[in-house]
Amino acid sequence: MIDFQNVRAHKAAPLKMHSLHILLFLAAGFAAHLSETGQTNSSSAAQPSINQEALAAYSAGTAAATNNDLKTAEAQFAKFVGLEPQIEEGHSALGAVLMRLGKLPQAITELEKARELKPGDISAHINLALAYEQTGANKKALVLFREVEAEVRQKPAADSSHGLPSYVLEAYARSLAATGQLPAATSKMKAAVAESSQNAELHDALGTLYAQQRRWSAAASEFKEAVRLQPRFAAAHLHLGAALAAQQQVLAAIQELNLASAQAPESAVAATELGKAYVANNEDDEAVAEFQRAIRLDSAYMDAKYQLAELLQRTGNNPDAVPLLRQVVAAEPDNAEAGASLGLALLLAGNAKDAIPLLKRKLEQRPRDATAHLNLAAAYLQMNELDEAVRVLSSGLENNPGNYQLHYNLGLALKLKDDNAGAIPELAAAAKLNSSAYEPHYTLGVLYMQDGQYDEAARELSMAMKLHPDNADGWATLGSLYRKMDKLPEAADALREAIRQMPDVPDSHLTLATVLAQQGNAAEAAAERKKGAELERVVMNRQRATVSTNSGNALLQKGQVADAIERFQEALNQDPNYAEAHRGLANALERQGKKEEAAAERQKANNPERPQL
């Protein structure tokens, strides 16, 4: 979701326009004052109290400002201030021009001087408040906005309850929002909209305030009005798309964000928000393309890199996510979410050592977060630091006693420590919390078997198989348990299911042979024993072939081609269908220039035959 906290609708242009308006008002007012007192350039009879050269400079500055010649206006008003530093109007006029030129610190200096000289000049106060708001001095701005508002309300000529023009109300609202006073800011912005209802930017600004308060429906309504008034208003389309996405109106959001992206094709923010909407609509390929486009547009825009990394992680491309997350964390070291994502990515890549500091920091920032405990504990388990894993998981359960995964992982960690007495209650709690999960029942069954509690073991393993029947190892384990309990028919059924699912595992055939023999079924027992023995031979031959192939690869790396070929052939004598041995032999034969023989071996590697029993 777009960061509406950092959205500012339209900063400079309105301020410059209104500053000019105030400047001309000041100039006209000052000229009227001179006319009333007779202090004009043409008055030679009276002894003027204002330097004539200063008056000429002021007039020239006013004319230049009217013609938008700001450089000349600045020079002339600066000349006036130098000649008549105690006259407030000069400081006010110079401050207004400096604001239009973007020289805010200098403008503030002049406007503060004007305020000091003439505390009752509302126009100068407004300019100073606007300058404060533009420089982020919002508390100072609010003092002035409130003073001006109170003074305007006292004037009988005020034509509304506020009495402030829309551009002032807008800046007033921004200062309130910047200091966390969102309801008050909304009220002022609504007044600004009422004052200038056809101003699309004000509707967008009001929508932004609603969005900051997660009042999505009201926000969307204002953004829609903004784009109705100004159809090519890219920022309003962007904001409307984000507000619609927040309301799960994904297709409508995609439409608006496509408009925003088309109208502002250089905007990395628009591309990123469109990518997020595609993610929400499960259009991952389109999302990747938009995130990549955003990065091309602005390589420093970290949100695009973070969103792309998150998507890559989710779709199983963890290696490509890691470098992106490293860039985000380097650029934004306080971004806990990015740090946690990088920690998880490193953990999945088998780099728990580097993951632990990142996952620790996330846990420090969110000590009640169950996921933060689980991830850090997983890293400790990967490092075989069992005591630390148990400590972190136990800490997580203090704040999350009903969390299935914390109980289950703690049970596994205790099992790894050979603490069956501690593991069993945790696994039992996990099984109770998630009645559809087979893993706690299966692990409990194994622990009960180890402790010789066969009835409890059979109960848990049976439940595990009922919940997850596609588990050949589980059926084999249950079959072995039933054999120990002398439940031979149940043992035979379980072992046959294990063989059906994985027919090439020798142990299941051999155990079934024993059960059948105990049942008096000698012929079938002999057949299963023979299958088991043949499979054992295949397994042992494969192990020997693996050793010989590894030796052949090592010799080939040393350039001992003839010796390597001998080892590969030895491997194939042990296991004629071992693809790695055929592949190694092909590489060695190529070294000898025997391309046809090498191709034949490579063909066998790519199409191995299943061993015949």
120-151 pLDDT per residue, tens: 888 888 999 999 999 999 999 999 999 999 88
For residues 70-76, average pLDDT: 96
For residues 207-230, average pLDDT: 97
Residue that is written with structure tokens 């969103």 in the block: 307
List the CATH code of the domain at 533-606: 1.25.40.10
List CB contacts of 130: < 8 A, sequence separation 6 or more: 15, 18, 19, 99, 141, 168, 171
Kindly report the three-state secondary structure assignment for every residue of 176-224.
HHHCCCHHHHHHHHHHHHHHCCCCHHHHHHHHHHHHHCCCHHHHHHHHH
Q: Which of 525, 509, 443, 447 is nearest to 476 (CA)?
A: 509
Looking at residue 334, what is its pLDDT?
A: 86
DSSP per-residue letters across 48-83: -SS-HHHHHHHHHHHHHHHTT-HHHHHHHHHHHHHH
pLDDT interval class at 609 (50, 70, 90): low
Strands (E), 24-167: none
The pair of structure tokens assigned to 508 is 């299941």
Query: How many angstroms separate the CA atoms of 306 and 485, rounded?
Result: 56
Q: What is the dihedral of CA 484, 485, 487, 490, to 10 degrees?
A: -70
Task: Write down the domain spans for the chain.
Answer: 336-511, 533-606
Query: How many angstroms separate the CA atoms of 470 and 98, rounded?
Result: 77
Q: Is the pLDDT of residue 409 over 80?
A: yes
pTM: 0.69
Classified by CATH at the fold level, domain 336-511 comes out as: 1.25.40
Structure-model confidence comparison of residues 371 and 36, the more confident one: 371
Q: How far is CA 336 from the centre of its chain?
A: 10
Query: How many angstroms separate the CA atoms of 477 and 467, rounded?
Result: 16
Query: How many angstroms separate the CA atoms of 554 and 568, rounded?
Result: 11
Q: Give the max Cα distance, the chain.
A: 140
Query: How many angstroms separate the CA atoms of 234 and 265, rounded?
Result: 10
323-379 pLDDT per residue, tens: 999 999 999 998 888 999 999 999 988 999 999 999 999 999 899 999 999 999 999
**Mean residue pLDDT across the chain:** 90
Q: Which of 341, 408, 414, 349 is nearest to 372 (CA)?
A: 341
Percentages (nearest 5) of helix, strand, coil residues in the chain: 75, 0, 25
Q: Is the pLDDT of residue 446 over 90?
A: yes
Looking at residue 35, what is its pLDDT?
A: 43
pLDDT interval class at 163 (50, 70, 90): confident
